[in-house]
Amino acid sequence: MATLYTVLTDFTQWLMDLIAAILDWTKLGILSDLGDWLQSAPVVDFVTTLLVAVIYLITVMMFALCFIWQERKFLGRFMDRRGTQVGVLGFFQNFADGIKVVLKEHIVPKDSDHALFEMAIFTYLASTFMLFGCIPFSDNFYVIDVNLAVLLGIAIFAFGPFSILVGGWASNNKYTLIGGMRAAAQLIALEIPLLLCVVSVVVLTGDLSFVGIVAWQEENIWLIFPLCIGALTFFIAAIGESERIPFDLPEAEAELVEGWATEYGDIRWGLQMASDYFRAYILCALFTMLFLGGWAGPEFIWAEAWFLAKTFIVFFFFIWVRAATVRIRTDQILKLGWRRLLPLAVINLLIAVALKVAEVF
């Protein structure tokens, strides 16, 4: 299996060899030494890592733009209107909004903790990017696939509530502090059932690698069938983890102003909102890999295309839920997480253990 890093390493090595050959052709000793330095392993590794980071960032941003466009168009149809109309099929509206956000002035509250104020939003964004790096597109195309990728993803998820709480506190605003506490409480209440559903998949498949989990489903059965309770629980918790309607209280403009993000403006606010779409993609991709067989599908379709098609279909149901439901109160969210989803997640885990012990698959 070839990773993106391996492919780009070969390309970087070829590029450095070409540059070194050109420098050697000049017959200048200094330039020849420079060519030898460019061909060294540390330089090749550094340039490769830089290329991976650039491609990775562009890919993340494009997925966010596609998700925003998909949501706007489908919400328009649900509401009997046409949605965005700027550019081809309304897609360029995203770029117009992005330019508007970038051009806004950056204002930091006077008495805030400036270091933590800046750190919180970028920690939230960085943890989202790290999660994205754990998501493979197929068994032949991924950034990283360690044997403990599932465990790594669970650990990274914990940064979300921490960053939100720090951001709310550092703003030196009582409304952002209350909003941060409420948002963190909501994410924790929904995160535990979600992670228990992931554990049930690991128990049944016996693998902590996403590639291994998908391979198990290819050989046996999509886990949405034996673990249907877990799939439903994961889906509901995923909507809440991505802070979407009806669980969008952390950033609801009518609730405590703008929640923990009240004092954020310009590109920082834009990145915070974009992070929610990044997380929505990650959670839809996780649902696809854990319960829908990942990239498993017809052989005449590229595995990567099949995986993305499933992911966008899952996100369509996210949009459908947003169009069909209304925002619920904080206490209702917490009751849903602790009194409904958590017991269902435990029951789903017991089912997974029973199926594993009985060796049904």
What's the CA gap between 309 and 311, in Å, rounded? 5
| Residue 147 predicted with pLDDT over 80 | no
| Residue 347 predicted with pLDDT over 90 | yes
Question: Which SS3 state, helix, strand or coil, does residue 253 take?
Answer: coil
**Average per-residue pLDDT in the chain?**
83
Q: Which residue has the higher pLDDT, 134 or 352?
A: 352
pLDDT on residue 255? 60
Confidence of residue 253 (pLDDT cuts 50, 70, 90): low
| Residue 256 predicted with pLDDT over 60 | no
Confidence of residue 1 (pLDDT cuts 50, 70, 90): very low
pLDDT on residue 24? 73
Confidence of residue 30 (pLDDT cuts 50, 70, 90): low
Phi, psi (degrees; rounded to nearest 5) at 185:
-60, -40
User: Average pLDDT of 311-330?
Assistant: 90
pLDDT on residue 346? 95
pLDDT on residue 112? 80
- Tell me the pLDDT tens digit for each residue of 99-127: 888 888 878 888 888 888 888 888 888 88
| Residue 307 predicted with pLDDT over 80 | yes
| Residue 232 predicted with pLDDT over 60 | yes
The token pair at 138 is 């197929």
What's the CA gap between 41 and 6, in Å, rounded? 14
| Residue 2 predicted with pLDDT over 60 | no
Q: 203 with 353: CB under 8 angstroms? A: yes
- Tell me the pLDDT tens digit for each residue of 53-71: 788 778 877 888 888 888 8
pLDDT on residue 29? 61
| Residue 291 predicted with pLDDT over 70 | yes
Phi, psi (degrees; rounded to nearest 5) at 326:
-120, 160
- Tell me the pLDDT tens digit for each residue of 149-200: 787 877 787 777 888 888 888 888 888 888 888 888 888 888 899 989 999 9
The token pair at 351 is 């089912």
Dihedral of CA atoms 336, 340, 341, 343 in degrees, nearest 10, equals 150
- Which is nearest to 116 in space by CA: 47, 172, 186? 172
Percentage of the chain with pLDDT > 70? 93
Domain regions of the chain by residue span: 1-103, 113-358
What's the CA gap between 100 and 13, in Å, rounded? 40
pLDDT on residue 354? 94
Percentage of the chain with pLDDT > 90? 21
Q: Which residue has the higher pLDDT, 145 or 173?
A: 173
Q: 91 with 68: CB under 8 angstroms? A: no
